[in-house]
Copies of this chain bind each other. A is one copy, B any other.
Amino acid sequence: MNETPKGPGGAAILVPVTRVQKPTLLRSENAESMAKRQRQISVSEFFSKNRHLLGFDNPRKALLTAIKEAVDNSLDACEESGILPDIEVSIRDRGNDRFRITVVDNGPGIVKAQVPNIFGKLLYGSKFHRLKMSRGQQGIGISAAGMYGLITTGRPVEIVSRTAATRPALFFELRIDTKKNHPEIMREMEVVWDQKHGTQVSIELEAKYHRGKQSVDEYLRQTAIANPHVSVVYRMPDGEVILYERSTQELPPDTAEIKPHPQGVELGILQGMLKEARGRNLAGFLQEEFSRVSKRVAEEICERAELSPRAYTSRVTREQVEKLLDGIAKTKIMNPPTNCVAPIGEEQLIYGLASVVPAEFYASATRPPAVYRGNPFIIEAALAYGGEIQGADSPARLLRFANRVPLLYQQGAGCCFGSTISVNWRNYGLQQPRGGLPLGPMTIVVHMASVWVPFTSESKEAIASYPEIEEQMTRALQECGRKLKLFLSRKKKDKEFQRKRDYIETYIPHIGIGLRDLIGLSDSERQGVVTCLTDLLERKS
């Protein structure tokens, strides 16, 4: 390079001498040589290399994520079998940036044959293929935590599980074979265990322990807000123990599993369902596979699709599936049933919040069920105002929950934050900078309950922004805001009243004394005048 290169228009460009990069290899690749390198990638290899996608970005977050996955599973299992959850979480410092976490529950336990798959195989579980509200939904979490532990410390996962007092407790030592995404059982034996039923999982992992923001403490504290029926004992590495006691003996209402709603189904999915539904006719298929499709509705769909209700499902062509979708779109079908989603409830939410965040005023709102992409959901919001929460000039604290699980990372992403800042809090007597959270001594809670929460990542840190969800969140927050406005204006009125009272108390006796001196009232007459004036003024204010 001897000449200075010129840019368009002849302007001189400053280009220093480029470090010469000589090709060091012959490019001998062709279709055959490339084909030899093609191979399958196991899902565990994929997530092992991309573990940040699952929340194992760094040692701090890894500790929280591992505990969260175990606790979420415990709570789901307890609730599904109608058991009030008693959870014990402990973290032991093993030195050298390693910690051993142990989570014990009093749940139904896990049958022997399923233990290896549940803890040693990614994408395995009972919650993915159904539409039912639960904390877990992917079948990745706890196995990924074990895999992270294995990669960073070489230690297998240890599990103890017992399904009944009459059965032995089983101990397993497992490691995932990452290449095959398959559990390898290292040890398996019966052990003596003091729990009648339940599961204990223990993972050693590279981690960093801290308290405060985005810590295990914070996660458990927020879990207590959204799960007032849960009792948690938390043993910290330094020996300190925190007990989060349940504030209600009532389990959350049980929720039903539902079938998909026809108006959320996509062409390819419908095609696949038809293919699998051997030997049935179209109307029968529609009734059996979808919610809210009665015989009458099924016939109406077929009529509008110009298809015979008695057509064989296996013979429906792609073009006919398109017509069928058209028919579904044109038919008025009831919204999906909503007994599949259970809110925390306005009252419980306030009790939960009050047990953790002391404040002067609490409000909550549970919205009626709504639907996004065929999935029913319910949004709730709550707020705690006043007291010693924080300074009046700091932004409100936002706590986000999905199916009762606190979300601690990526606050700015997703629709909880978006809808909170979109509310005009100035209407309710608060200050609010543009595009920011309202200011004041306030904690805001937003909860989404759904049969399928649309998370923005596998690590389940934020809820994707569907317009239907955002609208419900905004409305729930506005309801809380209106209640807050009432409180704030009553508070202002009370203050006004107090000021008036202070006047009365200060001046009226002097009026009595003045009158006595002027027109010579007796002491009892003076007292009478004072009482009368006080009564009058107090009645008026």
Contacts and interface: CB of A to CB of B under 8 A. Distances in A.
Interface of A: 1, 5, 7-9, 11, 13-16, 18-19, 21-27, 29-32, 34-35, 37-43, 45-46, 49-50, 52-53, 57, 77, 79-82, 108-111, 113-114, 117-118, 121, 123-126, 128-130, 138-139, 150-155, 163-164, 178-179, 197, 253-256, 266-269, 271-272, 318, 321-322, 339, 342-343, 345-347, 350-351, 354, 358-364, 366, 368, 452, 454-458, 464, 483, 486-487
A172 to B, nearest CB: 15
A49 B264 CA distance: 12
A121 B458 CA distance: 20
Contacts of A343: 21
A487 B14 contact: yes
Contacts of A360: 7, 9, 11
B152 A7 contact: no
Nearest to A76: B34
A32 to B, nearest CB: 6
B42 A123 contact: yes
A27 B267 CA distance: 35
B80 A41 contact: no
Q: Which 6 A-B pairs have the closest CB atoms?
A: A27-B82, A151-B268, A31-B163, A37-B126, A41-B123, A35-B111
B154 A108 contact: no
Contacts of A151: 266-269
Given A18-B366, A110-B31, A138-B46, A25 B254 contact: yes
A402 to B, nearest CB: 14
A29 B110 contact: no
Contacts of A82: 27, 29
A457 to B, nearest CB: 6
Contacts of A457: 53, 457
Nearest to A118: B38
A59 to B, nearest CB: 12
B22 A253 contact: yes
A343 to B, nearest CB: 7
Contacts of A41: 123-125, 128-129, 138-139
A213 to B, nearest CB: 18
A13 B355 CA distance: 14
Given A21-B342, A22-B253, A32-B163, 11 more contacts: A8-B359, A18-B346, A18-B366, A34-B80, A38-B118, A38-B125, A45-B128, A45-B129, A46-B128, A52-B454, A151-B266
Contact of A150 (B178, B179, B268): B268
Nearest to A350: B13
Contact of A109 (B16, B31, B155): B31
A16 to B, nearest CB: 7
A154 B366 contact: no
B129 A358 contact: no
A81 B30 CA distance: 6
